[in-house]
Amino acid sequence: MVAALAAWPPSAKLHRLLGLALLATHQAAASMDNLVTRDNGPLATLPSCAIACLTADCPISNMTCVCEFEAYASTQDCLLNTCTLPEALFSNNATKTECHVPVRDESAKFNVMCLTLGLIAGATVVIRLGFKQFFSRSRSLESDDWIIFSCLPLGLACIILEVVGLTANGLGRDMWGLPRDNLMEFAKYFYVIQILYLILIALIKLSLCFFYLKIFTGRTTRILLWFMVVFHVGYCVGFAVGVVFQCIPIHYQWDRYDWENGPTAMGHCININAAGWGNGATNIISDFFLLGIPLSQIRKLKLHWKKKIGVALMFLTGAM
């Protein structure tokens, strides 16, 4: 449940969704007023790069064909690769509007999920720490407790930023119909949440490591656990620095989505999808280690086999 403090969409997918969603805004249409008009249907004012993408599957005048799901879906990469951002924004907006694509809004569901999981996770941590401090035999908090306690303000900050930052600026909605200012604000909040997420995940795993160090006394196991402590600190610092400087200059992280200045904005970004996959793979590998370490020790416990199964199920439940 503690892990729910860090619950939100993986960054690589969100970056991809943001890039595709940013293909259209209502303001972008204003920047295309000087395009040459063509007498070939409702999408007559599309730029030439978009015309080339659309006519790869259909005549531009055949809106029935253009609006077919497969034909229209196949133009997304083409628009991203061949058009400037303002051209792509205008083209996708014009096409979706002409095809009468409804704007979906699932933001309320996300907010309910986020607040519910956050409340459950936060309450669980508070109850655990309260019991340790006031009702346990030691009546004191140890290193793993203080680390998980530090997750509370970070988790609360993530929840607030997700609700007042991400969903308020488009998360859960089709962003092609959102104003430009919302898109840039979304990118700013998303940038901050990525950093908080990395720190939060690292702290949760460090808390588990220090908890294991209290209950497992084997020399090899303790060496492995201390290695995991160093690994997670390095992982957090390395990926956090990577996120901070994923675009140079830093403000290009959100300025690149500005349809007004996009064509002239100077900057570059790393391969964010590759970085996201790398982060995900690293997390999964460390999860297997943190799950495998306690499970490997169960066979050494002087317990009935039924109790050993119960202990294993406890760790597996925590992993889920």
Least confident of 102-116, 235-249, 260-274: 260-274
What is the number of domains present in the chain? 2
Is residue 54 domain-shared with residue 145, that is, in the same domain?
no
**In the chain, pLDDT over 70 holds for what percent of residues?**
79
Is residue 214 domain-shared with residue 190, that is, in the same domain?
yes
DSSP secondary structure of 18-56? HHHHTT--TGGGGGGTTSPP-SSSTTTT--HHHHHHHTT
Is residue 189 domain-shared with residue 303, that is, in the same domain?
yes
Is residue 86 domain-shared with residue 195, that is, in the same domain?
no
Give the residue from 99, 131, 163 where a domain finishes. 99
The reply to whether 224 falls in a domain is: yes
279 compared with 30, residue with greater pLDDT: 279
Q: How far is residue 128's CA from residue 212's CA, in Å, rounded to a whole number?
A: 16
The reply to whether 35 falls in a domain is: no
Q: pLDDT at residue 38 above 70?
A: no
Domain enclosing residue 52, as ranges = 48-99
Determine the pLDDT at residue 298: 81
Is residue 159 domain-shared with residue 205, that is, in the same domain?
yes
Sequence letter at residue 242: G
179-225 residue pLDDT tens: 778 888 999 999 999 999 999 999 999 999 999 999 888 899 999 99
Per-residue pLDDT band for 149 (boundaries 50, 70, 90) equals very high
Is residue 201 domain-shared with residue 295, that is, in the same domain?
yes
Q: pLDDT at residue 268 above 70?
A: yes
Determine the pLDDT at residue 201: 94
Is residue 127 domain-shared with residue 77, that is, in the same domain?
no
Average pLDDT over the chain, rounded to an integer: 80
Is residue 189 domain-shared with residue 266, that is, in the same domain?
yes
Determine the pLDDT at residue 78: 85
42-88 residue pLDDT tens: 567 778 888 888 887 777 777 778 777 545 666 778 887 888 766 77
| pLDDT, mean of residues 296-316 | 77
Q: How far is residue 249's CA from residue 227's CA, in Å, rounded to a whole number?
A: 35
Is residue 88 domain-shared with residue 111, that is, in the same domain?
no
Is residue 162 domain-shared with residue 203, that is, in the same domain?
yes
Is residue 246 domain-shared with residue 114, that is, in the same domain?
yes
Give the residue from 67, 83, 99 where a domain finishes. 99
The reply to whether 2 falls in a domain is: no
The reply to whether 204 falls in a domain is: yes
Is residue 53 domain-shared with residue 171, that is, in the same domain?
no
The reply to whether 73 falls in a domain is: yes
The reply to whether 22 falls in a domain is: no
The reply to whether 10 falls in a domain is: no
The reply to whether 34 falls in a domain is: no
pTM: 0.76
